[in-house]
Amino acid sequence: MTGSSRLVIERLWNGDEAWAAERSEVVFALEPGGLSVEITAKFHHDQAPAMAPGRTDRLWEYEVVELFLANKAGHYLELEFSPHGHYLALQFSGVRQAQRTDIPVAFQAEILGDAWRGAARVEASCLPANLSLANAYAIHGQGQGRRYLAAYTVPGPRPDFHQPQFFQPW
């Protein structure tokens, strides 16, 4: 992708060391027609959602890679992608203040042994204006073994990815 940005997800959400095998990458670019996203991640063999691939509510409860993009006014976009072809796209006007939940995404994923790749596209009309900040996350595992990773760490007693004040310029 020309003019793309790359986020490497290689630490736990709180800054602790993650396992080398957990590393994921998200490459994204704002283009005239919209946003393009490419994901390369370890496949952890978590159970897929029971529904067919496509838009899936509560996708964060499964194995996912997430990309958050924000502007300086605090509006942000949350994009979640699973290795099984499921996605969720939400737009917020402030922290957890959902503004739009029906954002269409063109998304395809492919599992390649112990890795997976995904490619997504979001139309420009579905994006908040003046996006300039980002963070990316990966979630996998079940119960006590659930792991929350981040490109840029976020503070707090538990993982909370809705902290746009800690997103970084891209």
Please state the domain extents for the chain: 5-169
The model's pTM: 0.96
Q: Residue 170's pLDDT band (boundaries 50, 70, 90)? A: very high
Instruction: Find the mean pLDDT for residues 156-166.
Output: 95
Would you state the pLDDT for residue 2?
57
How many Cα atoms sit within 13 Å of 68 on the Cβ side? 26
Report the pLDDT averaged over residues 103-121.
Answer: 97
pLDDT tens-digit profile of 63-104? 999 999 999 999 999 999 999 999 999 999 999 999 999 999
Compute the average pLDDT of residues 117-129: 96
Residue 157 confidence (pLDDT) = 94
Over residues 53-67, the mean pLDDT reads 97
In this prediction, residues 38-59 reach a mean pLDDT of 97
Q: How far apart are the first and last CA of the chain?
A: 15
Per-residue pLDDT at 59 exceeds 90:
yes
- Tell me what pLDDT residue 1 has: 57
Q: 5-169 sits in which CATH class?
A: mainly beta
Please report the pLDDT score of residue 3 as a whole number. Answer: 76
Per-residue confidence (pLDDT) for residue 98, from 0 to 100: 95
**Partners of 76 in beta bridges:** 70, 92
What is residue 149's three-state secondary structure?
strand
Q: Are 21 and 42 in contact (CB under 8 A)?
A: yes
